[in-house]
Amino acid sequence: MIDARLLHLQRRLTLPVAQALHHRGVRADHITLTGFLIGMAALPALALGQFAVALVLIVINRICDGLDGAVARIAGPTDRGAFLDIALDFLFYASIPVGFALYDPISNALPATILLAAFIGTGASFLAYAVIAAKRGMQSTDYPQKGFFYLGGLTEGAETIALFVAFCLFPKAFPLLAVVFAAACAITTLTRVMAAWVAFDPKSK
């Protein structure tokens, strides 16, 4: 919901670091993979109840996610980079509820399952829209430099990361936060389906 508003600030903050990394020969794909591995380490940290450690790992993952795009814009974006960025992000997002489910299966397993189902809805609708939009040659006005068509919604990256931070700061609130956010994800999925119904009407070709 607020990703587009934060985009300019994010790019301004990451540009100096990205330029330094680029000059040292660091590639965007390397940052993406490193950030993914660091982020996935949050899963066992959460399972062991090390919430502060998990929070640090999540924050580092998100910093890498901003830096890889900044480096890619300097060096030139690639299809492989766009694929890795979105695919590994979705895997990372899914790992966080799993970590909480493993930590306390009795209290957290069902809310985590509901949240994962909601993530599938937002992810599937997001990617399906992007595929058809690319087929039709559509361009995103909010995210013109993305490697694929980026359709926003009520729950986007910024909201998801805020949720993960809240999970780590208030782990006992995980069940409530997970279910509430899952409901917001359902609204996002519904709005994307409605947008696709209108945008991809056969008569609109």
Residue 78: pLDDT over 90: no
Check which CATH number belongs to the domain holding 101 and give it.
1.20.120.1760
Distance CA 190, CA 165 (A): 26
- Residues of the chain with pLDDT > 90: what percent? 56
Look at 13-17, 49-53, 109-113, 182-186 and tell me which has the smallest mean pLDDT: 13-17
pLDDT tier for residue 131 given thresholds of 50, 70 and 90:
confident
Find the mean pLDDT for residues 84-103: 96
Q: Report d(CA 60, CA 65) in Å as an integer.
A: 9
| Cβ contacts of 150-154, under 8 Å, gap ≥ 24 | 151/126, 151/192, 151/195, 152/1, 152/3, 152/4, 153/1, 153/122, 153/126, 153/187, 153/188, 153/189, 153/191, 153/192, 154/1, 154/184, 154/185, 154/187, 154/188, 154/191
Reported as a single tens digit per residue, the pLDDT across 2-58 is 555 556 666 777 777 878 888 888 899 999 999 999 999 999 999 999 999 999 999
Provide the pLDDT for residue 164: 97
Q: Above 60 in pLDDT, residue 147?
A: no
| Confidence grade of residue 95 (pLDDT, cut at 50, 70, 90) | very high
SS3 state at 51 = helix
Q: Which of residues 99 and 128 earns the better pLDDT score?
A: 99
CA dihedral 7, 2, 153, 155 (to 10 degrees): 110
Mean pLDDT, all residues of the chain: 87
The tokens of 102 are what?
A: 């493993």
On the question of pLDDT at 159 being above 60, the answer is yes
Domain count, the chain: 1
pLDDT of residue 122: 92
The pLDDT score that the predictor gives to residue 144 is 53
**Quick check: 107 pLDDT over 90?**
yes
Q: Which residue range is the domain that position 89 belongs to?
A: 3-204
